[in-house]
Amino acid sequence: MTFKEIVYKYGRDGSTDVMEKLTEKVSWFTEKVKEKDPDLASHFLTKVDMLLNPHFTKESAQIAVSQMKNKDGTTGEHWNYDTTSSVLSSIKKDYDPADWYYVLNMMYSDYYKPDFSDQHYIDLAEMFISDEDAPHDKAKRYYLAMHC
C-alpha cells in the first residue's frame, strides 16, 4: 500500500485523531530521513510548508526568489530580505514581510526596464499585494499557480 492510498483510505474522514496519528508518523519518518539526508528532509518540509502555509516564510520566499529568471539577464534576488524589510518599514504597510520580499523581487524580475526607479517596483508591488479583489494570500497563491 502506498502512503497516498493510506491517507485516502483513513484520512478522508477528517477526524482529529487520524490526523494526529498521521502527523506523528510523518514527523517520525521525517526525522529518520533527516539523519540520513538532511537536505532531502529540509526540501520535503519546505515543499509541505509551501503547500499548507498561506504565506511565504523567509526560507520559502528565498527559495522561490532564487529561482527567478530576471528580465535583466540575472537570476534570483535583486533585493535581499533585509533590504525589502527595510523598505516595508519605510512605507509603513502591514504586509507579510516574506510575501513582500517575494513580490518586490517578482516585480523587478518580470517588469524590469533600465529606466525604472526602485520606487516604480515598490509601487507595482504595493498594487499587486493590496489588490482589493484578491485574497490576503495572493502572493503565495500566485507562486503556487505558476510553479506547482
What pLDDT score was predicted for residue 85? 97
> For residue 22, with 0-12 CB atoms within 10 Å meaning exposed, 13-18 middle and 19 or more buried, which class applies?
middle
The span from the CA of 17 to the CA of 25, in Å, is: 13
Q: What is the mean pLDDT of the chain?
A: 92
Cross-strand pairs, 69: 75
- Give pTM, 2 decimals: 0.79
DSSP 79: S
Give the start-to-end residue ranges of the domains of the chain.
54-147
* Euclidean distance between the first and the last CA atom of the chain, given in angstroms as a whole number: 25
pLDDT tens digits, one per residue of 70-79: 999 999 999 9
Beta strand residue intervals within 30-138, DSSP E: none
* Mean per-residue pLDDT, 92-102: 95
Q: Comparing C-alpha atoms, which of 98, 105, 96, 85 is closest to residue 57?
A: 98
